[in-house]
């Protein structure tokens, strides 16, 4: 089957899945809509962690151990900054620093985040289109016992340790999806929209909090498939399960499916979760969801596409 595929993605888990998709599809058919709720300004630089994790992953540059930043990185800038008593809690490697400097320079010159992302993708040789969800700022904030924290304060400085009582996506209400995002989501030849295995609250939540994106998804007749980021009650990486518990949600694949219930047609879960009770309107497909090797990523991508194609044909998956 041919046709374009749109995937919504956050950082490491989503990016691994996107890489799998890019290897089983013609990359020109693939559009990634990236979360920008984690973006912030640091040391005077515009940082877009999820966009960069996706770009580095697709360019083969990501550090596989850390899951962020570049492989074979050097840290001379950080060491020099530390010596001077500067802020070093958020680590910027030397090669990564160049990307933030260039993004900041282009934004200051009047380019949009979409323009800059397209430029960086081109320079890094990335095939699929990578689109920020919006060019308007959206900032994820979390309410903890110590009050509201900016996303990176919570995530990096506090290592996701404080319990989360509430999440908000500042700016999402009034943020406009970019024209490219709207065009991708309303493409009449769309084969599937896939919600990647990213944190539903921190990575996918901000994207879906933009009213124009939610409406475009609801108006699209192509199948919408989500891939679970949780296996046997544990997040593949990061604080998703912990946060869901703290917010009184079911911290399981079933809990993720319930959160997406009004949006998705099918849900891909790991075989260990296949027997859970999912909302009856959602078709469930079991496929190994742990992505250790490149083959794992390709197989999970193929399973998500098969779920979408099965729906399009009206077949049972």
Q: Which of residues 290-309 bind ligand FO1 (CB under 6 A)?
A: none
Q: Binding residue for ligand FO1 (CB under 6 A) from 7, 8, 9, 11? A: 11
Q: Which of 305, 232, 301, 313 is nearest to 273 (CA)?
A: 232
Q: Which stretch binds ligand FO1 (CB under 6 A): 49-57, 215-223, 226-234, 259-267?
A: 49-57
Q: Which stretch binds ligand FO1 (CB under 6 A): 46-54, 121-129, 252-260, 273-281?
A: 46-54
Using CB under 6 A as the binding rule, whether residue 49 contacts ligand FO1 is answered as yes
Cα 197–200–205 angle (5° rounding)?
130
Q: Binding residue for ligand FO1 (CB under 6 A) from 96, 254, 265, 270? A: 96
Q: State the minimum distance, in angstroms, from the CB of residue 308 to ligand FO1.
A: 25
Q: Binding residue for ligand FO1 (CB under 6 A) from 17, 68, 77, 260? A: 68
Q: Which stretch binds ligand FO1 (CB under 6 A): 48-56, 128-136, 212-220, 272-280?
A: 48-56
Q: State the minimum distance, in angstroms, from the CB of residue 70 to ligand FO1.
A: 9
Task: Give the number of other CB atoms < 10 A from CB of residue 310.
Answer: 18
The nearer residue to ligand FO1, 156 or 272, going by C-beta atoms, is: 156
Q: Binding residue for ligand FO1 (CB under 6 A) from 9, 38, 239, 270? A: 38
Using the CB atoms, write b or e for 221-236: b if 16+ within 10 Å.
Answer: ebbbbbbbbbbebebb
Q: Residue 57 in contact with residue 16, Cβ under 8 Å?
A: yes
Q: Which stretch binds ligand FO1 (CB under 6 A): 42-50, 138-146, 228-236, 300-308?
A: 42-50
162 torsion bin: left (phi>0), alpha (psi -120 to 50), beta (else): beta
Q: Which of residues 119-158 bind ligand FO1 (CB under 6 A)?
A: 152, 155-156
Q: Which of 171, 297, 277 is nearest to 287 (CA)?
A: 297
Beta strands in the chain (DSSP E): 4-9, 30-34, 40-42, 45-47, 129-132, 139-144, 147-150, 166-170, 190-195, 224-227, 230-231, 234-235, 266-269, 283-286
Residue nearest to ligand FO1 (CB): 11
Using CB under 6 A as the binding rule, whether residue 39 contacts ligand FO1 is answered as no
Concatenated DSSP letters of 212-261: HHHHHHHH--S-EEEE-SEETTEESSSSHHHHHHHTTS--SHHHHHHHTT
Residues touching ligand FO1, count (CB under 6 A): 16
Using CB under 6 A as the binding rule, whether residue 40 contacts ligand FO1 is answered as no
Q: Which of 263, 265, 270 is nearest to 280 (CA)?
A: 265
Gap between the terminal Cα atoms of the chain: 16
The nearer residue to ligand FO1, 88 or 312, going by C-beta atoms, is: 88
The nearer residue to ligand FO1, 177 or 206, going by C-beta atoms, is: 206
Question: Which residue ranges make up the site for ligand FO1 (CB under 6 A)?
Answer: 10-11, 38, 47, 49-50, 52, 68-69, 90-92, 96, 152, 155-156
């Amino acid at each position: 089957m041919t046709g374009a595929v749109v995937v919504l993605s956050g950082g490491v888990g989503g990016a691994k899945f996107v890489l799998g998709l890019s290897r089983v599809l013609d990359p020109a058919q693939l559009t990634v809509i990236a979360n920008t709720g984690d973006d912030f300004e640091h040391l005077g630089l515009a940082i877009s962690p999820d966009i960069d994790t996706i770009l580095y992953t697709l360019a083969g540059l990501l550090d596989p151990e850390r899951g962020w930043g570049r492989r074979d990185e050097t840290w001379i800038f950080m060491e020099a900054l530390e010596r001077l008593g500067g802020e070093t809690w958020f680590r910027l490697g030397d090669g990564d620093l160049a990307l933030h400097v260039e993004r900041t320079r282009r934004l200051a010159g009047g380019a949009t985040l979409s323009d800059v992302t397209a430029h960086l993708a081109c320079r890094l040789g990335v095939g699929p289109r990578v689109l920020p969800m919006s060019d308007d700022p959206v900032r994820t904030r979390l309410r903890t016992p110590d009050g509201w924290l900016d996303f990176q304060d919570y995530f990096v400085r506090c290592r996701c340790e404080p319990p989360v009582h509430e999440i908000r996506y500042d700016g999402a209400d009034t943020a406009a999806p970019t024209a490219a995002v709207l065009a991708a989501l309303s493409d009449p030849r769309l084969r599937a929209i896939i919600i990647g295995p990213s944190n539903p609250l921190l990575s996918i939540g901000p994207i879906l909090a933009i009213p124009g994106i939610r409406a475009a998804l609801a108006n699209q007749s192509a199948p919408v498939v989500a891939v679970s980021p949780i296996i046997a009650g544990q997040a593949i990486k990061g604080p998703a399960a912990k946060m869901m518990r703290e917010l009184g949600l079911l911290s399981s694949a079933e809990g993720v499916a319930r959160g997406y219930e009004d949006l998705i047609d099918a849900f891909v879960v790991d075989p260990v979760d296949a027997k859970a009770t999912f909302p009856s309107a959602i078709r469930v497909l079991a496929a190994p969801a742990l992505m250790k090797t490149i083959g794992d990523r390709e197989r999970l991508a193929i399973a998500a596409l098969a779920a979408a194609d099965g729906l399009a044909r009206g077949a049972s998956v």
